[in-house]
Chain A
Amino acid sequence: MSARRRTLPGFGLSLGFTLAYLSLLVLIPLSTLFVRSAGLGWDGFWAAATSPRVIASYRVTLLTAFSAATINAAFGLLVAWVLVRYRFPGRKLVDALVDLPFALPTAVAGIALTTLYSEHGWIGSRLAPLGIKVAFTELGIIVALTFIGLPFVVRTLQPVLQDLESEIEEAAASLGATRLQTFQRVLVPALWPALLTGFALAFARAIGEYGSVVFISGNMPMKTEIAPLLIMTKLEQFDYAGATAIASVMLMASFLLLLTINVLQWWSRRLTA
């Protein structure tokens, strides 16, 4: 490598710029959060991070994010399977459309879903006679988070499904396994790490999501108030201590998830290698 450093120019400049830009824009601003929380003292931090309304918001956030990620895991597996394995007209168009939630601004998704699922909306008005209310309930939050997380499972599973050798399925078939048995005993174990990775990615995204949820959730404290919205409310009331405490808890949760995802991806690569 020392030979390489001699050959190509620009190592000092590019690394120096990278580190300076990373520090100024990301590391130093993020550290303000932890310095501020430390300034609250342990008692102050604990009181702000665990008041009943805050605990309720964690509960809503985690439950809805988990439900949405589970829905995405199930349907994401189905969509990835259909896109990789079957031929049907419009397949390429559908494949491109899967990324829509990445491209569509969250505020647009939020108002569109709210209008659809409100009592007078196309979908809401059909569910109302059945006694199902979606908009302004936890169900509405789950719908928004399902939209936001939709591409993650599909996009993590697609390459893995595509690279699966057909030999193992042939072997299973020649040994007398039915398709369902092959799926359960051969394919599921091979897909498991990628499925979990996709689930974790969707879950992580859903926990922090704000834009698509604020419109559809109704934002009732203790009931449909998610943690990011509570941070926003506290900031607007200049309760910086309260906002900082909740944000620190959420950031720790995100970092923990990031770590989990890295471990899962490493496991997935080791299985396919």
Chain B
Amino acid sequence: MAGTVTLRLPVASPQARSAALTEPRPVRWALIGVALAFLSLFLLVPLAAVVVEGFKKGVEAYLAALVEPDTLAAVRLTLVAALVSVPLNVVFGLAAAWAIAKFSFPGRNLLITLIDLPFAVSPVISGMIFVLMFGGQGWFGPWLDAHDIQIVFAVPGIILATTFVTFPFVARELIPLMQEQGPEEEEAARVLGASGWQILRRVTLPNIKWGLLYGVILCNARAMGEFGAVSVVSGHIRGETNTLPLHIEILYNEYNFAAAFAVASLLTLLALVTLVAKSAVEWRQARLLRPAADQSMEAA
């Protein structure tokens, strides 16, 4: 639910409309102007603020904030969390989409709804449930203590919370895509004697690669940027359990604004790269689909 969109086609260029079906030119330009003003105020100005504030104390201070050991440790932990949670959710997404799209069984729609659950949960609650399970007062707390294993307020907790909040991304891209494609191609491969893994590698994966990539891009952006859930399970120990967003919070609360924005500019860059990659996949998808649409128009 909240927090994402499924692979969509970019809006087609608007067709020229007859005068009766569109607004007078001044009205059109006024509406465009108000819309662009709103978007600039809420999207462009904050983006510009990050860059300007990051460089406020000069390029040297900016670079110094980035190579500071605690920042580098935060970069490392952010990468580790994403490198574990994204592949886990890719495997899950493939398995869930395979079961749901290629077979029919009772409770399929319920399963799809349950997969969306993490999007409906507040980030703070997403972190809290792992504290309730593995924290000192939690279900497994005493046992973990006895065996000297620490999950919350340590790296495993951060990975768990990150995996939870990014759980639905890949699955919800792949399920509708594979449902639409149907099981026919896989069945044909099966009849021709392909094994399960051969079908997956040679038929299914090539068919879903763009949807899969799209899911991975969105999943990764969220994994690297998650704040609330990770904040609850992190011990906020500098250089040890701080991810990049948490490091930004600490710097900001210490009134070290230039450094906070310098680190924030890294994540802003990640967001922009995400948007570009996402648009590239959308355009690619549109190019793949459009010839098919044209053909079906001709046939009709």
Contacts and interface: CB of A to CB of B under 8 A. Distances in A.
B297 interface: no
B14 A150 contact: no
Interface band, chain A: 35 or more
Interface stretch (A44-52, A132-140, A257-265): A257-265
A33 B232 CA distance: 15
Interface in A166-202: 166, 169-170, 173-174, 179, 201
Interface string B183-200: 100110011000110011
Contacts of B102: 4, 8, 11
A210 B164 contact: no
Contacts of A262: 113
A211 B139 CA distance: 28
Contact of A250 (B122, B183, B279): B122
Given A26-B117, A78-B35, A11 B99 contact: yes
Interface in A148-163: 150-152, 155, 158-159, 162
Interface in A88-109: 88, 91-92, 94-109
Interface in B119-152: 120-125, 128-133, 137-139
Interface string A40-59: 00000000000000000000
Contact of A95 (B10, B20, B28, B163): B10
Nearest to A182: B21
Nearest to B51: A112
A26 B232 CA distance: 17
Contact of A228 (B44, B105, B228): B228
Nearest to A254: B120
A12 to B, nearest CB: 9
B8 A159 contact: yes
Contacts, number: 306
A14 interface: yes
B133 A100 contact: no
B146 to A, nearest CB: 20
B96 A18 contact: yes
Contact of A162 (B12, B104, B245, B267): B12
A7 B278 contact: no
Instruction: Classify chain B's interface size.
Output: 35 or more
B19 to A, nearest CB: 9
A170 B32 contact: no
B14 A4 contact: no
Nearest to B218: A102
B137 A240 contact: yes
B300 interface: no
Interface in B214-243: 218, 221, 224-228, 231-232
Contact of B183 (A8, A205, A243): A8
Contacts of A151: 5
Secondary structure class of chain B's binding surface, majority of residues: helix
B227 A105 contact: yes
B177 interface: no
Contacts of B35: 75, 78-79, 81-83
Contact of B225 (A29, A104, A170): A104
B50 interface: yes
Q: Which residue, B4, B28, B128, has most C-beta atoms of chain A within 10 A?
A: B128
A15 interface: yes
Given A17-B95, A231-B124, A155 B49 contact: no
A28 B129 CA distance: 9
A162 B9 CA distance: 11
Given A111-B248, A205-B2, A1 B104 contact: yes
Tell me which of A96, A104, A121, A254 has the highest count of chain B C-beta atoms within 10 A of its own C-beta: A104
Contacts of A73: none
Interface stretch (B64-72, B268-276, B287-295): B268-276
A155 B282 CA distance: 14
A84 interface: yes
A100 B47 contact: yes
Contact of B42 (A102, A150, A215): A150
